[in-house]
Structure formats: structure tokens, C-alpha cells
Structure 1
Amino acid sequence: MPYASYTYQGADRVGRVDGDTLIPLDLASLGSADALQAATELSAQAVAVSDVHLRPVIPRPDKIICVGLNYHAHVGETGRELPTYPVMFTKFAGSLIGPHDDIVLPPESAQVDYEAELTVVIGRAGRRIPVEKAYDHVLGYTVANDITMRDYQYKTHQWLQGKTWDNSTPLGPYLVLPQEVDLTAAGVRTRLGDRVLQESDTSKLIFDIPALISTISQFTTLLPGDLILTGTPGGVGYRRDPQLFLQDGDVITVEVDGVGTLTNRVVSEQP
């Protein structure tokens, strides 16, 4: 059973998704596996999904750690060698938007790109987590579109300024629990309208989920609600010939089979 973070009648809530209905929980936010397990459903306050505004699954994570160059095809299209250690960067919580919110094109960037990514949500805190214990710390999974301003990303060798623009990164639509999805070879794709731009599966990850959790927790304590964006497949717009960037009026969809689908309209920022 998936879970959602949403706003209804001005109040931020958490709920269990039951078909087209959300059943609220007496829980302030998603993140802690123990808190979710102990939460009580408030069935009398159920609402239709169509009547709420879906928020990012984890609206204010302590950490958002992203992995670059983690699919073989994506490494190949960049012309780089396979990494022997995960390439990592961070995002800020202020970069997150809901699963159906508009992606706003800032006037400063002419190279706004897409990246479909499976996202891991941490449910139990840990430091120096062994690979064999990594899944014990996973609350579940969701989907992100790692919107990237390429002309800013490549201003320096550090990627921060191209990766964490305010209100740019769709996350959701729901949290899917580990026992409810098979990620052995789950499809990961991006569509622009009817055109498929990215198509791969999670068996092509260079560093798998346990390896990422173990590696990251060597240098920082992972906390409930922390996000790990696991990387994007080949087919990004910057590496195409001709290059392809998001434009006003586009509708971009990213999906991970068994986890969820994000569909967002692209609009120019209004003065």
C-alpha cells in the first residue's frame, strides 16, 4: 500500500493510498519506519486523490544525496570512464516540488534538462551501514525528475549550481514500500509527449542500492526521510545530437515501473 504527502483544505497531511482515495494517518510526516508502522488510520476523514494537492513525498528531508554517472549507457554518452566510486552531489529541500506541479523555466538558463531517477527513502537512521544490512534502513521508494540547468552545471567542475534550483525537482507521486515492488530490473524511462527519450532498467545500475547506502553512510549519518537519487539512464537532452532541452508548453513524464509516474507541465517563469 503506497503512501502520500498532501495538502487538503489548507492542512498538510499524510495518508495511505487506497485506489482513488486517501485515508489520512495521525502522522505529521513520512520518514520514520517505526512511526509509520505505529500510525493510526483516520478512515472517517478519507478524501479523493483528485481533491488534494500532492506534495513531494518527503517535503523537507534533512539530506538529498544524488548519484551521477550510475548507468552504463549514461557514462558511455558522456565519454567518461566507468567510476570506481560513486559520483555524488546534493540538492536542497527547497528544490523539491510535487509530482504534478509545473516545472518552471528560469530566465537565466537556456539548457533545462530532464533525468528520470529511482529514489530511495531512508526509514531508519544509521552510520557505517554494512552492505548486507542496508535494506533494513530503507523505508521505501519513489520517483524523481532531477531537473538540471546544464549551462549552470558546467560553469565549474562542481555541479551544485546546476542541480538545486528552487522549486525544480518533482518527487513522488507516492511512497512505495520495499515488499511491494521488485526492483531487480524495473524499467526506468522518460517521455516527452509521446516520444521516449530514456529507457533502461535498474539492473543496469553500476552501484546498486545497498552499495550506495553503505558508501554514503561511511561519511554521514543517514536519517529517516533522507533521499538518495540513484542516477539516470542514458538519453539526457544535453548529450543528444541535436541537443534537446525543455521548452515552455512541454509535458514531461518520468516513470519507474512498480514505483510510480511523474507528469509535469513545463512553463516559463513569469515576471
Structure 2
Amino acid sequence: MTHSTSRFQDKIALITGGTSGMGLATAHRLLAEGASVIITGRSKKRLDAAVAELERGLPEGAAAERVLAVVGDVGDRVDLTTLIDTVRQRFGRLDVLFANAGIGSFGPIGEVTEEEFDRVIGVNFKGVYFTIQQALPLLVDGSAIVINASWTLHRGLQGATVYSATKAAVHNLGHTLAADLAPRRIRVNSVSPGYIETPMFHEAVSVDAHTEVISAVAAARLGTAEDVASAVAFLASYEASYINGQDLIIDGGLVAAIPGGML
């Protein structure tokens, strides 16, 4: 998809969890609007594939200057330190941070082990928290942070106790950081995607269940990663300069509207 705007010309953006889905779509969008982009992921193979895909949307040779991939786990403090040091050495600053990296975990509360609890908390909350903390020295005054939350913080989903709790935590973190970072004019908002067709969605929802899932959405379709990327780009841009401490639900009406067929 081609975008004619240049809202992010000469801006530097960091996207965690940028190898697929919403993170990769956002990298495409920001690159198309002029940004240089750093993406992270735990798999070098998947990062290499993501960079190759991003390169195809850029003029020949531009990727070497405008795309940086860093292998790392946001739940690992050593990896985060390496990430921030690498960004500092290459670009010296950040204008946009999309704290997107996260994992799913679904099942009855009685089956959640302490190991699984710590794993999900470690990535979805601790990882987001310390990604932002470590990135703050590089974020320029007037920059933007967008956190990836979830529709499940607004409406209960059976079997999502730990996952939903982590998303509620980062949603609240957005409110608090908007106040904490106000003296630096750093805006902090979150997005709450609904049923978005990504690799994580397909891992959690079988094809046989897609019709039932879509029936709960007023828009009568699954969302796309590009739907979320558009919202992230808006919140990170100057067009959202008076939007701060907010959560944008991108769910086709899943939370707020009940389709007639469900009545």
C-alpha cells in the first residue's frame, strides 16, 4: 500500500515485536511516510525475512539507511540494554516508540501454572514497562509512545485471565505515563485491537471458529494488521498532538455494538 503523506519524514521509530502482524504492518506504514525504523524480534530468521519484506517497499539501497533489525527479547533486561545501545549508536534518538511485543496465553484459570503466569507477565507487562523506561533517554521532547493493549481489557473473554490482566496493566500504564511525561511533552496512548488477522490470531483461533468470531463483530469481518497500523501512525503523528493518555479501540464494534444476529 502506498501512502502519499510524509508525516514521519526524518523521524526515528522503534517497533518491538516487528517481525509480523501489527508490528510489521506499522513498520511498513511508517517507512512509507518517511521514517527510519528499528524492529525487534526474538528470531533472527524471522527478522531477516521481515527486513527483506520491508526492503521490497523501498527504493533500492534505502533499507540500509532506514531499516535496522535487532534480535532480542523484551522480557530480558540484557537484551533491552543491547537494543537501546544499538539504537543510540546508529540513530542517536527516537521520535516514536510502538511498544507492540506481546504473547498470547489462553486457558482456564485452574490450569495456569506459575511458570506460565511469569512468562506472560514478563513479556506483556514487564517487557513493555522496561522497554519504555530504557527508551526514555533517547526519546526527544515532544515524541510519541503508543502501547499495544487489547479489547479484552474492556470486555471479559473466557480463558484469558492472565493475558487480559497484562493488557489492563499496560493500558493503565499509558494513563500514568501521560501524566509523568507531560513536562517533556511526550504523549502516551494505547491501541486496543479486536480480532485482528495475524499469526497470533490464527494460533489461538481455529479456522472452524472464524464464522462464530466474525458474527460478534458489527463490521462483519476480521480486522487487518493494516487497520491497526493506520491507528498507530495517527496517534504517533502531529495530527494527534492533542490526544494524550487515551485508548483507541480498533475492533469493528466488538466491544460497543451488538450485531442483530446475536440478540
TM-score of the pair, normalised by structure 2: 0.25
Specify which structure has the bigger relative contact order, considering alpha-carbon pairs within 8 angstroms and separated by 6 or more residues. 1
TM-score of the pair, normalised by structure 1: 0.25
Higher helix fraction (1 or 2): 2
